[in-house]
Every structure is written in structure tokens, then in C-alpha cells.
Amino acid sequence: MLDVRFISLTSYISRLKSKNMKIGIAADHGGYELKKTLHAFLVASGYEVLDFGAYEPNNQDDYPDYVVPLAQAIASKDVERGIAICGSGVGASVVANKVSGVRAALINDHFSAHQGVEDDNLNLLWRAHYRLYGS
């Protein structure tokens, strides 16, 4: 069962156009465990998921290693939308927004997830792991 802390993620997911949409996901070590849960949830919900890593927890990894390939996949339309999780989400969303065609935002609540998709055509949602679970 999905934890209540996923409300903005599930709100974002519910705004996606179709169940057969291809969604890219990524996380650094700060969001690795949450990404694993999210991946399973998306697949069980009928979405095609392209995982950009991390593929194992590693405190030495760096979010641009996962953010940039995900953002480029969105820009090139290899995936339609993206969801990423890292420690704070701030730096990663800044990096993602440097890729032309990407509209990324750090989202921590249902209202912002809804508005971001419906009004701002958000195509990459960032979720802060540490905001959910503490440092």
C-alpha cells in the first residue's frame, strides 16, 4: 500500500494523460529507496518506466549523473514525463531546468502537483527525500 507521504507523487501521476505513458524516474543516494518503491508502484499501475538510476545506494554519487540523462530524455521525447527524488530537490531541479524543453519543479504537496501539471505543463517533478524523512 502506498504511504500517505506519496500524496504529491500520486496526485502528479493521476494527472498523467494515459496509463500507457512512458515515465522516466531517477534518484541519487538520497532518494534511492523511495525510487525503488515508486518504480514498483508505477509498473503495477500500468505505466512503462525507464529508470535512469541510481541502481544501488552509493553516498558518493552525484545527482547530475542521473538528472541530466532524465532531463535529456524528456527533451528528446524518449519519455513523456519524469519523476526524480534526491536529498533536497533544489539543486537537481535547477540542473534539470537548464535542459531546453524541460519544466521541472520541486513539488511537496497535492495542490502544487495539480497546478504544475494542469496549468504550467510541468514535465519533471522533483520530490525531496529529506523533506519527507528528515536528514
Task: Pick the catalytic residue from 86, 104, 113, 117.
Answer: 86
3-state secondary structure of 126: strand
Are the C-beta atoms of residues 79 and 48 closer than 8 Å to each other? no
Rounded Cα distance, 15 and 111, in Å: 12
Question: What's the Cα-to-Cα distance from 91 to each of 12, 27, 55, rounded to whole Å?
Answer: 21, 13, 20
* Single-letter code of the amino acid located at 127: R
Q: Which residue has the cell 509498473?
A: 43
Residue 77 Ramachandran class (φ > 0 left, ψ -120 to 50 alpha, else beta): left
Q: Please confirm, yes or no, whether 90 is among the known catalytic residues.
A: no
Q: Which residues are catalytic?
A: 86
